[in-house]
């Protein structure tokens, strides 16, 4: 997979922690950042799907309640 240069700002604590992990693991900082972004994307994608599903279920329940109220009133 090709890479694209992307610039962002980190806190000094984040940079220090990233350097420490890189030194201890012998994994380049850039690789660690890409791995962290992959993990974040995967986790948030799962949550987004879950939240979307939950939203659809709530909408259907509301529609069903309204329909049941109308039917009960008939």
pLDDT tens-place string over residues 18-60: 999 999 999 999 999 999 999 999 888 877 677 778 788 888 8
* pLDDT of 74 higher than 70: no
Look at residue 54 in the predicted model and tell me its pLDDT: 79
For range 53-72, the mean pLDDT: 87
Element (H, E) at 11: none
Tokens of 52: 């979307």
pTM of the model: 0.62
Residue 20 CA from chain centroid, whole number: 25
Residue appearing with tokens 């890189």: 22
> DSSP of 31-54, one letter per residue?
HHHHHHHHHHHHHHHHHHHHHHHH
Sign of CA dihedral 25, 27, 28, 32: negative
Residue whose C-alpha is closest to residue 61's, from 53, 46, 50: 53
């Amino acid at each position: 997979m090709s890479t694209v240069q992307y610039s962002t700002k980190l806190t000094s604590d984040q940079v220090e922690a990233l350097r420490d992990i890189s030194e201890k693991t012998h994994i380049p900082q850039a690789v660690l950042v890409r791995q962290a972004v992959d993990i974040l994307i995967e986790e948030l994608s799962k949550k987004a799907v879950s939240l979307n599903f939950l939203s659809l279920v709530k909408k259907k329940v509301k529609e069903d309640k309204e329909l049941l109220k109308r039917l009960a009133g008939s």
